[in-house]
Amino acid sequence: MSHDLNPSEFKSGFVALLGPPNAGKSTLLNRLLGEKISITSQKPQTTRNRILGILNRENAQIIFMDTPGVHRASGSLNTRIVEVALSCLPDMDAAIVILDGASPDPHSEKILFNALKAQEKPIILAVNKVDSAEKSLLAQRIDLWSKMVNFQEIVPISARTGFQVDILIKALEKLLPSGPPFYPTDAITDVPERFIAAEMVREKIFRLTGEEIPYSTAVTIEDFSEDADRNLVSIQAVIHVERESQKGIIIGKNGAKLKQIGRAAREDIERMIGCRVFLKLFVRVQKNWTKDTRAINRFGY
């Protein structure tokens, strides 16, 4: 792709991916990019930060902002998460609202719709998980949602299988302003590798531990060293928990759970950066950090 394209022929812009927890925003972003940069799990509120993903097309560059799930928040951490999700709207050229066509979340949808009513930016509704939704109920839900916000288009999709994702992209391209690319055309994100590595570890905690534990953990990278001669990256990561009992669960009997988390995360990180990875995990107790504003800031939320 050339940067010498006539700006009137090329489109570029920033697009927010918004929706309730577990609607499939991160799965959709990974599907759009063909690369895993945003973590996923079946537990809600997996995403905590805004993740930027760059889709380069023949005549367009679309910069997606994956955001945390919008929900009725309680507590310092969850309140901050929702603020992060909605604060990107004024800077966007358009937005895609992703709703779960199979298992709606009316309370979160209401919060989201109220936030969107004042927006003048074009918005597309992507109704996700249509492959597992009951068709008669799906039609009723789409009819109801279409009356909540003035959507430019409504596109039923499946982020998991890729169903009609190409139609969603084409609909979005029409809404973008003309202009040159904002990023190099071989880039897929502006997020540093060490951030994605921390997120990969946190994803495995979500997938491999019980209901309470993931929401009480944060992951920070203390060392990220590259050895080009050995084609090796050495990473030291710290898993922060709120209580000693949680530390014991994360470590597991004879360290088995921590080894399982580390092995799964290392394999994903190696796929991402394309070389061997030595990953060392530590677990530390930061008492009640999810209620501590300073700790929340220090952990990057």
User: Model confidence over 148-169: pLDDT tens digits?
Assistant: 999 999 999 999 999 999 999 9
Task: State the average pLDDT over residues 260-264.
Answer: 97
Asked whether the predicted pLDDT for residue 75 surpasses 50, the reply is yes
Of all residues in the chain, what percent carry a pLDDT higher than 90? 55
Same domain, 144 and 38: yes
238 to 35, 221, 292: CA distances (angstroms): 25, 6, 18
Mean pLDDT, rounded, for 283-288 = 92
Is the residue at 182 inside a domain? no
Q: According to the model, what pLDDT value does residue 72 have?
A: 61
Distance CA 97, CA 18 (A): 5
Instruction: Give the pLDDT of residue 50.
Output: 63
Q: Are residues 106 and 237 in the same domain?
A: no
Same-domain pairing of 18 and 108: yes
Do 50 and 81 lie in one domain? The reply is: yes
Q: Identify the pLDDT of residue 52.
A: 85
Quote the mean pLDDT of the chain: 86
Q: Which two tokens stand for residue 293?
A: 């504003």
Q: Does the pLDDT value for residue 46 go beyond 60? A: no
In a domain, 178, yes or no: no
The more confidently predicted of residues 183 and 211 is 183
37 or 146: which carries more pLDDT confidence? Answer: 146
4-42 as b/e, with b when 16 or more CB fall inside 10 Å?
A: eeeeeebbbbbbbbbbbbbbbbbbbbbbbbeebbbbbbe
Check which CATH number belongs to the domain holding 136 and give it.
3.40.50.300
The pLDDT tens digits for 173-182 are 999 999 999 9
Please compute the mean of the pLDDT values over residues 55-65 and round it to a whole number: 94
* Residue 3: burial class (beta carbons within 10 Å; 0-12, 13-18, 19+): exposed
pTM of the model: 0.71
Whether 153 and 199 map to the same domain: the answer is no
76 torsion bin: left (phi>0), alpha (psi -120 to 50), beta (else): alpha
Task: Please compute the mean of the pLDDT values over residues 141-149 and round it to a whole number.
Answer: 94
187 is a domain residue:
no
Determine which helix (DSSP H) or strand (DSSP E) holds 162, and give its type and residue range.
none
Residue 283 lies in a domain: yes
Confidence band (pLDDT; 50, 70, 90) for 2?
very low
Residue 283 φ/ψ, nearest 5 degrees: -125, 130
Q: How confident is the model at residue 87 (pLDDT cuts 50, 70, 90)?
A: confident
For residues 78 and 23, which has the higher predicted lDDT (pLDDT)? 23
pLDDT tier, 71 (very low <50, low <70, confident <90, very high otherwise): low
Q: Does residue 218 fall inside a structural domain?
A: yes
Domain boundary among 142, 173, 204: 173
Predicted local distance difference test score (pLDDT) of residue 130? 95
Residue bearing the bigger pLDDT, 263 or 121: 263
The candidate with the shortest Cα–Cα distance to 209, out of 129, 265, 159, is 265
CATH of the domain at 291: 3.30.300.20
> Are 230 and 150 in a shared domain?
no
Q: Is 142 helix (H, G, I), strand (E, B) or coil?
A: helix
Q: How confident is the model at residue 291 (pLDDT cuts 50, 70, 90)?
A: confident
Q: Domain containing 157: what range?
A: 11-173
The domain total for the chain is 2
Q: What is the pLDDT of residues 185-243, one digit of tens each?
A: 888 888 888 888 998 998 899 889 887 787 789 999 999 999 989 999 999 999 999 99
Would residue 181 count as lying in a domain? no
Query: What integer pLDDT is reported at residue 295 of this predicted model?
Result: 79
pLDDT recorded at residue 1? 44
